[in-house]
Amino acid sequence: MTATWPPVAIVGVGNMGGGMARRLLAQGVEVHVCDIDADKTQALQALGAHVAAIPAQLGGVAHFLIVCVVTAAQVQEVLWGEQGLAAQLQAGDTVMLCPTIAPDDTEAVAARLAAQGVATLDAPMSGGPERAALGTMSLMVAGADAVFERHQALLNALANPVFRISQRVGDGARTKLVNNLLAGINLVGAAEALALAERMGLDGGRTLQVMAASSAQSWIASDRMTRALAGDWAPRAHMTLLEKDTGLAQQMAMKAGYVGPLGPGAAAVFAQASAAGLAELDDAAVLRHLRAQV
């Protein structure tokens, strides 16, 4: 990739959006960024990014725009709020939606953009900020073949792997919620097992070593529980994110007419942990929450 590539705009340059911005800047792409946190945009400006004060200022400076906020309400604000971007978009532009939101919300945004000739790629992401900066995160991409193919080289620069889900916008969101539901179930299960092990007097670290090398192994369990056992609650992914995602997954399941045995319980644990004062901690603090259970 060289600096002759078309500019890219990113609204929301927190952990993942910031990682993507750094990745593109390192590849010589002209990157325009916008975020309510000036510290984040200033850090990227020092690396060569152009900073917009409000989303509306990004219209016309780039024809591929990435929205990397957290909630559906924030997507609406970025696009159609008082300082929103949508009114400045041009026919033929593409908006890539990266948040983990409900499929219905993704579909509604895409329909509204399509009415003005703007394409949507439904592309939730996974992997964390370090992998985003390295271009080794994963993207789950749904959208029209022509739109996907037009931007495939850029997607490949941002992520490896890029999963081509379907042509139906909303299927990226569905896939991400299914993935995050299992991540939440795995994390709650690992925390429950370690809390039980400690209650019985077993060494948590040694127990986790066994789990990581045996049939109980899961990536999220090993990653989060290693931090939890060290008492490291600094947020890489806030408790509220899995609370949101597992809750959205339950809403999606209900709409599909499916009620599983584990998902509702995992969603309840994250909600309870947040309500217990752990909302702003890393989701690894689910172990701290379950340790306190009588």
Which residues are the active-site residues? 176
Please tell me the distance from the alpha carbon of residue 5 to that of residue 125, in angstroms, as a whole number: 22
Tokens of 180: 């995050």
Half-sphere exposure of 139 (CA within 13 A, CB side): 29
166: β partners: 142
Please tell me the distance from the alpha carbon of residue 117 to that of residue 93, in angstroms, as a whole number: 8
Please tell me the distance from the alpha carbon of residue 37 to that of residue 20, in angstroms, as a whole number: 16
Tokens of 194: 């370690």
End-to-end Cα distance, the chain: 56
9: β partners: 32, 65
